[in-house]
Structure 1
């Protein structure tokens, strides 16, 4: 089974959280059922093109934004970078700053 629904779901969840929306609010704005939004975010449902368009419009993003950097090939640079960004987006600003400091320390250590 393809990992694409899970990747799309993660992207939807991250954009939703960035916009400060609950699943219920997104469902209302997209004219979709709340349960369906949850299933999309968890990668349990293959979204229809119509649903994807409704979600993107409700999130006020383009389809290009939603699908950017989605590459199901786990060994690609873009996939790895998108996974890092996806995980960071779900963290608080405080945790993101801590991770950035940690990366700086790792880079300094590597450069020595």
Structure 2
């Protein structure tokens, strides 16, 4: 969306909303609403914002341009240690699910297919959670 792209390029230029609004000769509240995709700016407003950010208008309009150049939004890769931790935690969770007090369907134990589907779902969720946590809690000076 256009608002997301404006926000991305504003942050990349290390500008506040107030600074960009002043440079583009628009109000800060209007800029905030545009960044939240509440309003679609006119071509003249887009032109002013693009000029203030020193980017082509096509970068603000095209989703692909901002997303492809935005390495900061990509989640970090998992290390071997992260993979081992996930495997260990996954095995512990699966063992607890298969115990007598664990997960059962209508009093019946899980069949092999259900067990495998739950394992895959848990593993994907754990991987995503680990990557999000790494991004969120890694100090900026240590990010690549």
Q: Is the TM value for this pair above 0.5?
A: yes
Gaps of 5+ in 2: 84-144
Q: Normalising to structure 1: TM-score of the pair? A: 0.60
> After TM superposition, which residue ranges in structure 1, 4 or more long, deviate above 3 angstroms?
103-106
Q: How far apart, CA to CA, are the structure 1 residues paired with 2:12 and 2:50?
A: 13
Q: Normalising to structure 2: TM-score of the pair? A: 0.48
| Partner of residue 72, structure 2 | 89
Aligned length: 82
1:1-112, aligned counterparts within 5 Å? Answer: 7-68=1-62, 70=63, 82=67, 88-89=71-72, 99=76, 101-102=77-78
By relative contact order (CA 8 Å, sep 6+), the higher-ranking structure is 1
Alpha-carbon RMSD: 3.2
Gaps of 5+ in 1: 1-6, 71-77, 91-95, 107-112
Structure 1 residue 85 displacement after superposition: 6.1
Larger Rg: 2
Q: How far apart, CA to CA, are the structure 1 residues paired with 2:79 and 2:2?
A: 27
